Amino acid sequence: MGVRRLAMISLHTSPLDQPGTGDAGGMNVYVVELAKRLAARGVEVDVFTRATSSSLEPVVPLVDGVAVRHIHAGPFEGLTKHELPGQLCVFAREVLRTEAALPVGHYDAVHSHYWLSGQVGALARDRWGVPLVHSMHTMAKVKNDALAAGDTPEPAAREIGEEQVVEAADVLIANTDVEARQLVDLYGADPVRVEVVHPGVDLDVFSPRGPADLAAERAALGLPADAVVLLFAGRIQPLKAPDVLVRAVAVMLERDPGLRSRLVVPVVGGPSGSGLDRPEALAALCAELGVADVVRFVPPVAQRDLARWYRAATAVAVPSHNESFGLVAVEAQACGTPVVAAAVGGLTTVVRDGVGGLLVAGHDPADWATALARVAGDPGLRERLGRGAREQACDFSWDATAEATLGVYRRARERMRESVG
């Protein structure tokens, strides 16, 4: 039994938001790219998200076959993610009211993203008699087990809410085998109801540069042609650990003071999560460590511009304390740029150590300085890793993600039919 119409729920962040700031990040990219690929395969997708402005139209077409439905629940501005549980009832009521105005049996399945959406999805599942497929994206127990210094633990209410969603979902989609094990071990998920589907990367947008294009790419971004460019891309918050890169850069300059004249460290993104409590903290750390002259803060950019930054980089650092997948790492590799990543979570799936990048155990700045210097100082290694990076990224595509996800929807519907038959 195929899926013709899908209700996708992304309560706390809209697919229309710019990734890289606020609560918008890899999940936004995931929702957009999956919805687009599903629509290309004949599935009508409605994405339900909370309205954050009175100027938003109730329904906004994303592409043919994909509509973003803005649900009014709570004040448009000023609500943090931790305050959104108080709006779940209103949001759920309005989602059900929207469906009630459509023909009976309009949706064939629900796919919820993040635990808040899963709470709403569980109610819709029971009301509509269709299966709930849920993607966690991040998990409180995993984050709290690897909490960054100074970060705020996820509240117990979230852990309880996630446990409820795990119990309610017909199928849980894990990004990697690592995440699948975490769902089983930490949340007691039934292994039979956990399926692994890797997210993808747009291999057309994120593509390597030609051999002679580096100087032009860098010139367009205001970077010297001969610079050593160590890039961080993502939301600026303790979980993503941009401070580890900054501290590593300080160590590199202490070891090799002559590097300072050639080193540029772009930080592409904006404050998010607990990083909003101290939005100037990273800049203050740069000043404290004496590296403010080599660090350049760049606001979040669109996907095609982000690809230019990746291509211009000598290496991309992904020092996160945890990643369920690590979209930045696969995007950078798709551009043929080596990645130096923390050996945590999904990053151990996305980055093959010594093939498309280097994995670093732990977050010691000295270890990170050594790994980054290896890539920056060895053109032969950098070239080999660049080739391997693209090859590794080609194993991940959104088309493959969409095909596999359609299979999950189909099996979820079959299981629900058998259970009530």
| 310 annotated to a ligand binding site | yes
Quote the CA–CA distance of 367 and 333 in Å, as a whole number. Answer: 21
| 301 annotated to a ligand binding site | yes
For residue 305, CA distances in Å to 14, 198, 308 come to 20, 24, 5
| 122 annotated to a ligand binding site | no
DSSP one-letter code for 111: E
Residues 6+ apart with CB under 8 A from 47: 8, 9, 10, 15, 31, 35, 62, 66, 67, 68, 69
Residue 244 has, within 13 A of its CA and on its CB side, a CA count of 29
Dihedral of alpha carbons 212, 213, 214, 216, sign = positive
Q: In this structure, are residues 334 and 306 in contact, taking their beta carbons and an 8 Å threshold? A: no
| 167 annotated to a ligand binding site | no
Query: What residue has token string 């693209």?
Result: 390
Quote the CA–CA distance of 332 and 309 in Å, as a whole number. Answer: 9
Quote the CA–CA distance of 300 and 278 in Å, as a whole number. Answer: 18
| 364 annotated to a ligand binding site | no
| 19 annotated to a ligand binding site | yes
DSSP one-letter code for 231: E
| 26 annotated to a ligand binding site | yes
| 13 annotated to a ligand binding site | no
| 12 annotated to a ligand binding site | yes
Quote the CA–CA distance of 299 and 319 in Å, as a whole number. Answer: 19
| 97 annotated to a ligand binding site | no
| 24 annotated to a ligand binding site | yes
Per-residue b or e along 197-222, where b marks 16 or more CB atoms closer than 10 Å to that residue's CB = bbbbbbbeebebbeeeebeebbeebe
| 30 annotated to a ligand binding site | no
Q: Give me the count of residues in the chain.
A: 421
| 323 annotated to a ligand binding site | yes
| 270 annotated to a ligand binding site | no
Residues annotated in a binding site for UDP-N-acetyl-alpha-D-glucosamine: 18-19, 26, 235, 240, 301, 323, 331
Write out the binding residues. 12, 18-19, 23-28, 81, 114, 138, 158, 235, 240, 301, 310-311, 313, 323, 331, 337
Annotated binding site for Mg(2+): 310-311, 313, 337
Binding residue numbers for 1D-myo-inositol 3-phosphate = 12, 23-28, 81, 114, 138, 158
